[in-house]
Structure formats: C-alpha cells, structure tokens
Chain A
Amino acid sequence: MQSNTSNIQKSAREDRYQHHDYYGIDELLSEEHLLAREATRQWVKSEVSPIIEAYADRAECPTHLFKGLAEIGAYGPSLPAKYGCGGMDEIAYGIIMSELERGDSGIRSMASVQGSLVMYPIYKYGSEEQRMKYLPKLASGELIGCFGLTEPDYGSNPSDMITNIKDDGDAYILNGAKMWITNSPVADIAVVWAKDEAGIIRGLIVERGMKGFTAPEIHGKWSLRASITGELVFEDVRVPKSNLLPNVQGLKGPLGCLSKARYGIAWGAIGAALDCYDSALRYSQERIQFGKPIGGFQLTQKKLAEMITEITKAQLLAWRLGTLANNGKATPAQISMAKRNNVHMALEIAREARQIHGGMGITNEYPVMRHMMNLETVLTYEGTHDIHLLITGMDVTGFNAFK
C-alpha cells in the first residue's frame, strides 16, 4: 500500500478523551502495557480522530492509515520479532485493539484482520518459507491481507461452505465465492478457506492478480463505514500448491484464527464503550437544562453510573481473559463469553450515551452514533451475539443446540 498523507484534511476539533480506570486495573498492567496504550492512543488522537468523521461520512476507507498502523506495530503485535512483529504478550495486543477501537471499530478491524486473521494463520499453520515470505511484509504494511471464510449462503454455519479446491498437478484449482470480507478490495493477499476433494477444509494464500480472482466492493453499509468490505470471487483460479497452509486441516483452522480475533474484539469493544462514556460524561457536566448540568439529574446519573459499572466489569473480564491467554489457557468458549458480553455492553452504552447527548447525539459532532452503528457489525461478525450464547450454552450443558 502506498501512503499519501499530504492531502489529508484534518479537522481542528480536539479529541479530549481521557482514560477511565475506576478499579485501578492499571496496577495489574506492566510498564510495556501502559506504554503500548499510550503510544496507540497518541497515534489515534493524531491520525484517526481528526479524520474519522469525514471518512465515515463518505463511507470511505482511510487507506493511508494501513501504513500508519504498521508503523506503530499494530499488526500481529504478539507474534515473534523474528518476523518483524512486536513479540509482546496477549494483554498488550488486547490493549492496542482497545485503543484503536476507541478511535473507530473500522480502524480496529483493519488491524485485527491483518494481524489475527491473516498473519496469525500464516504463522500458526504456514511453513517456515511461507512465514518468511509473507509475515515481514504484512507486519510492515507492504502487503495488506484479508480473510475469506463467510460465504453468501454460509455465515454462522461455515462448515457447509461450497468454495472448493481440486488437485491439478503442481496447483489447486479454486472455485467459489466469499462474502463480507473486510479489506478484500484493497488486499494483496487473501487467506481463503475451501474444501478439498475429500471435503476437508484447507487454508490457501491467494494472491491479487491470480487469473480468475476478483474482489468487488460491497456498498451501502450503515456500519463500519470507514472499513472497506467486499467479496472474493474465484473462477478456476490456479493456486500453486506451495500456497497451501500445510499444518492444519478442518474447521479448527479458521476457528483458531477467529479465537484470536474475537479475543481482540473482546478488548476492542471496551474502547468504543469508553469513548461513548467519556463523551457522555463530559457532555453531562457541560450541558445545562433547568438551570443545572444534566449530570446533576438522577436519571442521567443512573445512566452514567451503570455505564462505568459495566465498563469496569468488562475491563476485569478482559484482563482475566488476557492473563489466561498469556498462559495458553484461554478456551474458545471463554473467549466467546467475553466477546459476547463486551460487545453487547458497548452497544448498550453507545445507545445510552446517545440519549445523554440529546439531539447532538445523532450528529457527527460527537463520536457516539458512529460507534453505535459500528457496533452493530461487531455484534454480528466473528460469530453473532446469539451464536456465542449457544457456544456458552453448549459448553455448560454439553448439548449442541446449533442444529
């Protein structure tokens, strides 16, 4: 990706966000966590906040930020330094996602797709040659990737996918279509999940320019408007066998990546919630009605008090999940619980915060409505709100209620 920042118009409106840590959770964090947060926040305040409303308004992806995200190290921060990544722990990764989503869920999506859904599978399931070939360039933003699992007819139920590969000597012939793919129209490579002739799900790295491969953009989104979304269409695409991810077979391949990305979303959503709370709190102290700040009325206080209570619970959930993840102990079901809880919490807070802002809350003078619209996607992608509930349900009862 080429970055061209010279003609970017920045709004002069100041991002006055301040962190909220009601339970002193910062004391549970290390110096490197706090620095990662400060650096990401600084970047968001200087690069994202001044432009995000305009890009979301135009439903345009600020593609110049792909490079900036690489420069701060937001792509695969917890992958090893050997591949050009940060070598940090899972809590640092979560904190970075939270700070990015404090700016915008679409910007966080740009980074979580690249890091968790493209770099992670190549790292985890790829050969050493594939790692060396792709990871440093993905970490530096020289290559942008996307992840193709969802299909037009198979969303919550990816195991019935119809995208498929057939053996053809030194290559596979890939056919099918993927839908709702973040970054796809601008991506240089796609990690695509397809069934082989035995019906087993395999992962492949498909490169832009391969004959028969196109990635048209999906228009008309009212959510995640600053993130670009598209399709992946494969018509007899010859993919060299060396592009197959050798070390995984079956649905656990894509699910392993999704666990990683959902983990990041569980943290990310807290950022969106904090931004809404921060804005609502300040507004409630400044806006005067009936002769006093609206924050002085009990009904406003109820909203704000419940918001910070829910945020604090979500922060603790994320921190504990991060601690488990650092020890390699976070289960997919535990990640589901945190994703579901925290995203829903953020969406509820966005709605309440919108009310506190009154009529101003529906405008792009404040970030709240944008967060609220974004969170509708976040509630659905990476496993819908209800699907995650079924995962918890299955985990605690032992019964599968999916089918």
Chain B
Amino acid sequence: MKILVCVSKTPDTTAKISFNADNTEFQSAGVQYIMNPYDEWYALVRALELKETLGGTVTLINVGTADDEQVIRKGLAIGGDDAVRIDAAPKSALFVAKQISAHAKSAGYDLIMLGKETIDYNGSEVGAMVAEYMDMPYVSYATKLDIAGSTATLMRDIEGGEEEIEVDLPFVLSAAKGMAEQRIPNMRGIMMAKSKPIQVIPAVPFEDLSVVTSYELPKAKSGVKLVQPENMDELVRLLHEEAKVI
C-alpha cells in the first residue's frame, strides 16, 4: 500500500482571528498554528493504521511555505515515512489540488487521503478537485475505511444517516470524525522525524480562477432576550422585527 496523506496548517482553535487594514489578508502575527485536525487525527492516523496492518508507506504532502515544515515534521513524528512540500503559499483550493495532483500523477499512490475540511476556511473542496485532476473516484466524509485486496469498504456520513460504499483502489477520500483516534507523537518519534526526508519541489505554473476580495468577521453574538410567557405579543414582535424569522 502506497498512501499519500495531504496535510495543511491551520490556526489553533484558541487563536484570535483578525485581518489587515483593508480586510484583504489574514493577520498571522502572533497566531499559533497546528496541523489541521481532520488531516491529523483522522486521515493520517487511519493511514498509519493501514500501513501497520497491510504494510507499505505513508507519504505526507503539503502545499505551503517553509513555515509549514513544523506541521509536516509533526506528521513524520506521528509515523509518516517521508514528505513532499510544494513550495508555494496555498492560494486557493484549486491551486492546492492542482499542485497535489501534479506530484501524485506519476507517483503511483494506491490511496490519497485528506481531512474532510480545514478548520479555518472550511472549504471541503480540495479532495474533490484532486480526484478530478487524478481522474480517480472520490469518497467524501468517510468515517470508516477497510481494505481487502484491491477493494475498499467505507462508511460515510450522509444527511440523517450513513452510507456504505465499496470502491476499487486507487481513489481519493476525505476523512471525517470517527475514522481513527488522535495519536500524540512521542519523544522518540520526534527525534526519528528529524532524519526523515522532506522533499521540497517548486509549484507548477497555474492560473488561479478566483481571488479573495475581502474578509469579514461574523457579528458578535448578541445576548439572550428573555420574554415573559404571558407576553406573547412581544415575542411575536421580536421574532418578526428583530430575528426576522416570521
């Protein structure tokens, strides 16, 4: 089994989010970064479990600048064998998918795994785009994955339930909660990761189709309004005029 796991860097869940003066760029100063949890806890850990039972290799791929190496190194400390970093800022989902597939095309992976989304932009786009570029089947939001021979059996979340799917290798999948349990790297793993190779390759030329024009923070949540049970008219008025739901 030759598995490719896509990993990206996201701000820590406790980070304060702000933008530059004209709201066109995220302010990264002082922000602590982590590996995107869906990539780490679900995609990477399940990939490592498969490697442990079926044999093979787990390669990490990241589209990012040198700052991302810490996140890559963590993946190697958890158990990845080697890594590829495409040396470019990840401008858009399409750009990232293009770069990943440009590497993966000739590398002969049996399985390409990534998290169902990143916890910053929550796009959920890269997986499908990689599958399209690779001309491979795509299974999204997978919560369970087993492989026998060249066939994989998966469970995936669907609205109000679950779906069981069978698909032939190779394919692309995005992992959701339930796929595996978090693994914390240990000190020996961290030391071993130091000597695992990270291959840095330049990005392939690519014309992006979209640009971000501006960012905006969600409005601060207003407090709860309490309405006495006998004051139905007031409740209706608030629902109509303020909440605008009726």
Binding site for B on A (CB under 8 A): 16, 18-19, 31-32, 34-36, 38-39, 42-43, 46, 71-74, 77, 81, 86-88, 92, 96
Given A18-B32, A39-B77, check contact A86 B188 (CB 8 Å): yes
Contacts of A38 in B (CB 8 A): 34, 74
Q: Is the beta-carbon distance between A39 and B32 smaller than 8 angstroms?
A: no
Given A18-B12, A18-B32, A19-B32, check contact A32 B184 (CB 8 Å): no
In whole angstroms, how far apart are the Cα atoms of A34 and B73 in the complex? 10
Tally inter-chain residue pairs, CB-CB below 8 A. 60
In whole angstroms, how far apart are the Cα atoms of A131 and B188 in the complex? 18
B190 interfacial contact with A, CB 8 Å:
yes
Q: Is the beta-carbon distance between B69 and A39 smaller than 8 angstroms?
A: no
Q: Is the beta-carbon distance between B187 and A73 smaller than 8 angstroms?
A: yes
Q: Residue B184 contacts which of A16, A42, A92 (CB distance < 8 angstroms)?
A: A42
Contacts of B182 in A (CB 8 A): 42, 46
Contacts of A71 in B (CB 8 A): 184, 186
Q: Is the beta-carbon distance between A32 and B190 smaller than 8 angstroms?
A: yes
Q: Is the beta-carbon distance between B14 and A35 smaller than 8 angstroms?
A: no
Q: Is the beta-carbon distance between B191 and A86 smaller than 8 angstroms?
A: yes
Contacts of A46 in B (CB 8 A): 182, 184
In whole angstroms, how far apart are the Cα atoms of A384 and B73 in the complex? 40
20 A-B pairs with C-beta separation under 8 A: A18-B12, A18-B14, A31-B70, A31-B194, A34-B70, A35-B74, A36-B187, A38-B34, A38-B74, A39-B186, A39-B190, A42-B182, A43-B184, A46-B182, A71-B186, A72-B186, A73-B188, A74-B187, A81-B188, A87-B191
B185 interfacial contact with A, CB 8 Å:
yes
In whole angstroms, how far apart are the Cα atoms of A35 and B173 in the complex? 28
- Residues 181-213 of B, flagged 1 when their CB comes within 8 A of A and 0 if not, give 010111111110110000000000000000000
Q: Residue B194 contacts which of A16, A32, A34, A39 (CB distance < 8 angstroms)?
A: A32
A162 to B: closest C-beta gap in Å: 39
Residue of A with least CB distance to B185:
A39
- Residues 1-31 of B, flagged 1 when their CB comes within 8 A of A and 0 if not, give 0000000000010100000000000000000
Closest 3 CB pairs of A and B: A73-B187, A86-B187, A73-B186
B223 to A: closest C-beta gap in Å: 13
| Further pairs besides A38-B34, A92-B187: 20, Cβ < 8 Å | A16-B14, A18-B32, A31-B73, A32-B190, A35-B70, A35-B73, A35-B185, A35-B190, A35-B193, A36-B187, A39-B184, A39-B186, A42-B182, A42-B184, A43-B184, A73-B186, A81-B188, A86-B188, A88-B191, A96-B187
B3 to A: closest C-beta gap in Å: 22
Residue of A with least CB distance to B72:
A31
A111 to B: closest C-beta gap in Å: 12
Contacts of A39 in B (CB 8 A): 77, 184-187, 190
Contacts of A81 in B (CB 8 A): 188, 191
A128 to B: closest C-beta gap in Å: 21
Which of A31, A74, A77 has the most C-beta atoms of chain B within 10 angstroms of its own C-beta? A31
Q: Residue B187 contacts which of A18, A34, A42, A72 (CB distance < 8 angstroms)?
A: A72
B246 to A: closest C-beta gap in Å: 33
Which of A19, A42, A92 has the most C-beta atoms of chain B within 10 angstroms of its own C-beta? A42
A63 to B: closest C-beta gap in Å: 20
Q: Which of B39-55 contact A (CB under 8 A)?
A: none
Contacts of A87 in B (CB 8 A): 188, 191
In whole angstroms, how far apart are the Cα atoms of A390 and B117 in the complex? 58
Contacts of B32 in A (CB 8 A): 18-19
In whole angstroms, how far apart are the Cα atoms of A5 and B191 in the complex? 28
In whole angstroms, how far apart are the Cα atoms of A36 and B189 in the complex? 10
B83 to A: closest C-beta gap in Å: 13
Q: Residue B190 contacts which of A19, A36, A74 (CB distance < 8 angstroms)?
A: A36
In whole angstroms, how far apart are the Cα atoms of A72 and B77 in the complex? 11
Contacts of B188 in A (CB 8 A): 73, 81, 86-87
In whole angstroms, how far apart are the Cα atoms of A34 and B190 in the complex? 10
In whole angstroms, how far apart are the Cα atoms of A162 and B188 in the complex? 41
Contacts of A16 in B (CB 8 A): 14
Contacts of B77 in A (CB 8 A): 35, 39
Contacts of A86 in B (CB 8 A): 187-188, 190-191
Q: Which of B98-127 contact A (CB under 8 A)?
A: none
A135 to B: closest C-beta gap in Å: 14
B233 to A: closest C-beta gap in Å: 32
Q: Is the beta-carbon distance between A77 and B187 smaller than 8 angstroms?
A: yes
In whole angstroms, how far apart are the Cα atoms of A43 and B185 in the complex? 9
Residue of B with least CB distance to A42:
B184
In whole angstroms, how far apart are the Cα atoms of A35 and B186 in the complex? 9
In whole angstroms, how far apart are the Cα atoms of A86 and B188 in the complex? 5
Contacts of B194 in A (CB 8 A): 31-32
Residue of B with least CB distance to A92:
B187
Contacts of B185 in A (CB 8 A): 35, 39
In whole angstroms, how far apart are the Cα atoms of A34 and B32 in the complex? 11
B179 to A: closest C-beta gap in Å: 18
Contacts of B14 in A (CB 8 A): 16, 18
B66 to A: closest C-beta gap in Å: 11
Q: Is the beta-carbon distance between A88 and B187 smaller than 8 angstroms?
A: yes
Residue of B with least CB distance to A26:
B32
In whole angstroms, how far apart are the Cα atoms of A74 and B187 in the complex? 8
In whole angstroms, how far apart are the Cα atoms of A92 and B194 in the complex? 14
Contacts of B73 in A (CB 8 A): 31, 35
Contacts of A74 in B (CB 8 A): 187
Contacts of A92 in B (CB 8 A): 187
